[in-house]
Structure 1
Amino acid sequence: MSTISTRHGPLHYLTVGQGAPFVLLHGNTYSATTQVRLAQRFADQFTVYSFDLLGHGGSARPPDLFTTRYFQMQGEAVADALAGLFHTPVPVFGMSAGGISALNAVCIRPDLIAALILDGVFARVTAATYQAHRHATASMSPSWHRYMAGQHGADWWPILNAGVESVIEQLAAQEALVTPCLDQIRVPTIIFHGGKDPFVPDEQARAVAAGIRGARIVYEPEAGHLIAWRNPDAFRARVGRFLVEAGVVAG
């Protein structure tokens, strides 16, 4: 277990592999530990730094986290962590809320992000996102609740689960923009999106892609949320080609 200081408190992170650094950011209510198998896919080429977002796993729990500033605060913490750990730009792979956190971090420290790999991200929080989140929360099995309680702590897990739902509800009521600087992003970007993603309507994924100059979108019409888990080998190969084409790694 390692931590890095940020303006909102320490972020916990795990590392696996060896090579140039590669940052992995999980989605809401998950943790660095839940992403170990995903991190290991890239561990033959990179040292993968898998962060716990604020409020998750072993990271800080700021008292004002579950507000409409949620994604801004996550981005600020990620930007501070990048500045504390690295002196040269690194590729950042963000899944769902982790991707939106990365899009907020690049607004603050574009000099430290070599490329963005985004899976299941939206530009605005809509009613569809909130309804999908409520359904997912209501559908959690007792065994899943026990597993997540083990990840986050039995006392904290219900607070985190309710807090994230409250954030999505608040942002949906405002149809809030949560990706504030798309037109200023100049790093190579690839966006994965599934046509049957209940959290991200097609128009929201396309809004992110259209907002970033030169961004590529990989669209799978039959996929749901988070393509990274749908076909691991194909996903790894596509990310690898993107990083070579972007000049981040040698071909």
Structure 2
Amino acid sequence: MATVCLVYRAIVVNNSLGRCGSLLRNFQRTTLRTLSSDVSQHYQEVNGVNIHYEKTGQGNHTLLLLPGALGSSQTDFSPQLSGLNRDKFTLIAWDPRGYGKSRPPDRDFPKKFFDRDAEDAAQLMKTLGYSKYSLLGWSDGGITALLIAARHSSALRKMVLWGGNSFVAEEDIKLYEATRDINDWSERMRTPMINMYGEEYFRKTWEAWVDGISRYWTEFEGDICKAELKNIKCPTLIVHGQKDPLVPQYHPDHLVANIKGSKLINWPDAKHNLHLRYADEFNKLVEDFLSQ
């Protein structure tokens, strides 16, 4: 495997082959934002569910933004919807079923629930008439992006993912369990989610998420999509915050070693929410990659 290192306030690794209280204080989400006048809200029926999404921009390069666990366009992608070049890009930011404004139904977590999210997202884009697009996936949205890229490769132009993983390890389960009780979360992290969902829904859904992702460990030997990484053909940029308390380094290392032609950027000072904390730099990184 050929490796090249560059400096971009981070370390860039090229691969030619191919989530405790202290942790929670480091994991942040933005507060709910007031929509800009040029960001429109829509609903589209997909696989029997009314899916909410936001749209902005008029560029000929379409981007689908995929949020993290319990995330939505409003909680997860404000700096991208307002900051990415809307002359070059058309941005579609969706709320997966049971998240954000894609309710009802209430969110559940059946076996291999990421597969359902991936098929919903791919069907959304097909129904909206987008035959070619790129993916921006954060955290759980990064996992969803991997599955879309592996199973719908002909529709993909490029992919950027951060905070995602293709498998669950025993160490990961311990990190997830440490987040189960939302009373242990920092006020800054808990409040926007309560504002979005109400405390009861937020609490029960987060506990169900912990149970759901843990089943990948107990029932599928931790495998989410490891075997499918070889099917990803699109140019892929992986960004990793090296102070991420939720995603250990072995996850991005595995991705870059198994997605042919992918590139890994290790961001030394960044945590899980690097696209929010370093929004301007992150947006430039994304635009540069997508424009190559």
Residues 43-66 of structure 1: per-residue CA shift (max 9 Å, x gap): 533221110022201225667941
Greater CA deviation, 54-63 or 207-216?
54-63
Match of 1:233 among 280, 285, 289: 280
Q: Closer, same or farther in 2 for the Cα pair 1:143/1:221, shift >3 Å? A: closer
Contact 1:11 1:53 in 2 (8 A): yes
SS of 1:181's equivalent in the other structure is helix
Q: Closer, same or farther in 2 for the Cα pair 1:182/1:60, shift >3 Å? A: farther
Name the counterpart of 1:171: 216
Distance in 2 separating the partners of 1:72 and 1:107 = 11
Distance in 2 separating the partners of 1:150 and 1:202 = 32
Name the counterpart of 1:48: 91
Name the counterpart of 1:58: 101
Q: How far does residue 159 in structure 1 lie from its aligned partner after superposition?
A: 2.7
Q: How far does residue 128 in structure 1 lie from its aligned partner after superposition?
A: 2.4
Distance in 2 separating the partners of 1:208 and 1:10 = 32
Q: Quick one: which amino acid aligns to residue 36 of structure 1?
A: S
Distance in 1 separating the partners of 2:50 and 2:222 = 27
Structure 2: tracts of 5 or more residues without a match: 1-40
Structure 1 length-normalised TM: 0.87
Q: How far does residue 230 in structure 1 lie from its aligned partner after superposition?
A: 3.5
Structure 2 length-normalised TM: 0.76
Name the counterpart of 1:100: 143
Q: How far does residue 73 in structure 1 lie from its aligned partner after superposition?
A: 1.0
Distance in 1 separating the partners of 2:156 and 2:44 = 17
Contact 2:149 2:233 in 1 (8 A): no
Greater CA deviation, 63-72 or 84-93?
63-72
Q: Give aligned pairs, total.
A: 245
Structure with larger RCO (C-alpha < 8 A, sep 6+): 2
Give me the identity figure in percent. Answer: 25
Contact 1:28 1:97 in 2 (8 A): yes
Q: Closer, same or farther in 2 for the Cα pair 1:230/1:175, shift >3 Å? A: farther
Greater CA deviation, 105-114 or 177-186?
105-114
SS of 2:46's equivalent in the other structure is coil
SS of 1:206's equivalent in the other structure is helix
Match of 2:185 among 131, 140, 151: 140
Distance in 1 separating the partners of 2:129 and 2:136 = 16
User: What is the 5 A alignment of 1:121-200?
Assistant: 121-138=164-181, 139-141=184-186, 144-153=189-198, 155-173=200-218, 174-179=220-225, 180-200=227-247
Q: How far does residue 239 in structure 1 lie from its aligned partner after superposition?
A: 1.3
Name the counterpart of 1:22: 63
Contact 1:88 1:112 in 2 (8 A): yes
The root-mean-square deviation of aligned C-alpha atoms, in Å, is: 2.3
Q: How far does residue 116 in structure 1 lie from its aligned partner after superposition?
A: 0.6
Residues 102-141 of structure 1: per-residue CA shift (max 9 Å, x gap): 1112233222221111011112112222222333444324
Q: Closer, same or farther in 2 for the Cα pair 1:43/1:152, shift >3 Å? A: farther
User: What is the 5 A alignment of 1:99-118?
Assistant: 99-118=142-161
Structure 1: tracts of 5 or more residues without a match: 246-251
Name the counterpart of 2:11: none
